[in-house]
Structure 1
Amino acid sequence: MELAFERRGAGAPLVLIHGIGHHWQAWLPVIDRLAASRTVIAVDLPGSGRSRGLPDRTPYTAEALADAVESFCALLGVREPHVVGNSLGGYIALELASRGAVRTATALSPAGFWSRSELLYCQAVLRALRATARAMPPEQAVRTAESPFLRAVSAGILVAHPSRLEPTALIAATQALAASSGFDETLESFAGLMPPAPPKSPITIAWGEHDRLLPRRQAVRAARWSGQRVKLLKGCGHVPMSDDPELVARVILESSAMS
């Protein structure tokens, strides 16, 4: 499947997968650090960013999105890349590892390790963020992004340090969330999301210390599933790339050097 993407750097291929309602620009704080030693390919998932939606009658599920990423890599001629994902993208990375379709997988606060109450909380928060984004006039989005207080209120659930989030990045993310055609169906599909099959490729799971969307206690379940310790991203929230780009890039590069 054709997907919109950004490619930078040279070296072993490293595919970056964003979370629900986001776009490839989520990785901008770390992309150049990664591109110094990797061929970085940051994708827009189907129905997000500049990518068209899934084919008619194809349900928006994590497995279908993983299929789309896998076929996209085949279309580019990229075989067994390293993959990194955040949130829903983290689940997709683990799903691809369970298929043995990737060389390594790194998942940052991956979806799917929630309890029932945590799932309902996550869905409610994301629904509210989506409704706010869709109702917000462009001029209000600019005022929100440029005000430290309003930026903290609007982004504090997703990042630990809203002040480190560039206003232009917040505006673009708000627009991407409002425009995501696959958002609602994907969010509903979360109700049936279970941890993937055991991985066939080396994986690394890392969790934001101050994750307010998928609290770090979910990392305990992820550790039981993976049989290995989950790395703690100190000082980071659910979308950790802007909170500490250096730390996140280091974890990704170390993890993708495992094979």
Structure 2
Amino acid sequence: MDLAFERRGTGAPLILIHGIGHHWQAWLPVLDRLAAARTVIAVDLPGFGDSPGLPAGTPYTPESLADAVASFCATLGIHEPAVAGNSLGGYLALELASRGVVSSAVALSPAGFWNRSEFLYARTVLRALRATARALPPEQAARMAEEPASRALSAGVLVAHPARLEPTALIAATQALAAAPGFDETLASFEGLMPPAPPKSPITIAWGEHDRLLLRRQAVRAARWSGQRVKLMKGCGHVPMSDDPALVARVILDAI
């Protein structure tokens, strides 16, 4: 499948997968650090960012999105890459590891380890973020991104340190969230979502210490599922790449 992507660096391939409503630019704070050691390909999932939607009749589910990433890699002639993902992207990384089609997988605060109340909370927050992004006029979104208090209000549930977010990055992320045609159906598919099958490839799971969307207690369930300790990313929120780029890059490179 043809997907929008950014490629940097040389060496063995590393595929980066964003979360629901985001785009490949979520990885910009860590991209060059990772590209110093790998050929890094940050991809827009179908129906998000600049990628086309899934073919007509194909439902948006984590499984179909994982199929699309696997197809995308095959189109580029990439076999068994390392993969890292955040949130929904973390779930997809684990799903690909369960299929044994990647050499290793890193999942940062992956979806799917919630209980019922935690899922309902996360869904409510995501719907509110989406509705706000779609309702904001562009000029108001730009003003909010520039003003520290408004930036903290709009981004504080996703990052631990909103002040570290570049205003242009927040504006672009808000626009991507508002425009994503795959958002609603993908979010609806999370109902009843369970962790993937046991992995056939090596995996590493890491969780933001201050994750306010997928609360860090979900890491305990991820540890039970994986049979290994989950790394705690100190000082980081749900989307940790802007909170501590050096730490996130180190977690990924050490794991793969």
Q: TM-score, normalised by structure 2?
A: 1.00
Q: What is the match of residue 192 of structure 1?
A: 192
Match of 1:5 in 2: 5
Aligned to 1:114: 114
Task: State the alpha-carbon separation in 2 of the partners of residues 136 and 78 from structure 1.
Answer: 40
What runs of 5+ residues in structure 1 fail to find an aligned partner?
none
Residue matched to 1:219: 219
Q: CA offset at residue 159 of structure 1?
A: 0.1
1:57 aligned to 2:57? yes
Q: Aligned ranges for residues 173-192 of structure 1 at < 5 Å?
A: 173-192=173-192
Determine the structure 2 residue equivalent to 1:101.
101
Structure 2 match to 1:164: 164
The letter for the 1-side match of 2:246 is: E
Distance 1:4 1:57 in 2: 21
SS state at 2:207 partner? strand
Q: 1:177 is paired with a residue of what secondary structure?
A: helix
The whole-number CA distance in structure 2 between the counterparts of 1:30 and 1:62 is 24
Matches for 1:195-210 after TM superposition, within 5 Å: 195-210=195-210
Deviations 1:40-89 (A, max 9, x none): 00000000000000011111000000000000000000000000000000
| Partner SS state of residue 191, structure 2 | helix
Return the letter of the residue paired with 1:240. P
* C-alpha distance in 1 between matches for 2:162 and 2:71: 35
Ranges in structure 2 where 5+ consecutive residues have no aligned partner: none
Matched position secondary structure for 1:191: coil
Aligned mates of 1:150, 1:216 — CA distance in 2: 25
Cα distance in structure 2, aligned partners of 1:222 and 1:58: 29
Tell me by how many angstroms 1:193 deviates.
1.1
Query: Cα distance, 1:196 vs. partner?
Result: 0.3
Shift of 1:13: 0.1
Distance 2:118 2:63 in 1: 21
Aligned equivalents of 1:220, 1:64: Cα separation in 2: 27
TM-score normalised by the chain length of structure 1? 0.99
Q: Shift in Å at residue 133 of structure 1?
A: 0.2
2: distance between equivalents of 1:142 and 1:59?
34
1:76 aligned partner: 76
1:194 CA displacement: 0.6
Report the number of matched residues: 256
Percent of residue pairs bearing the same amino acid type = 82
The answer to whether the aligner puts 1:14 opposite 2:25 as a matched pair is no
Cα distance in 1 for partners of 2:25, 2:12 equals 21
Task: For residue 192 of structure 1, report the CA deviation from its aligned partner.
Answer: 2.5
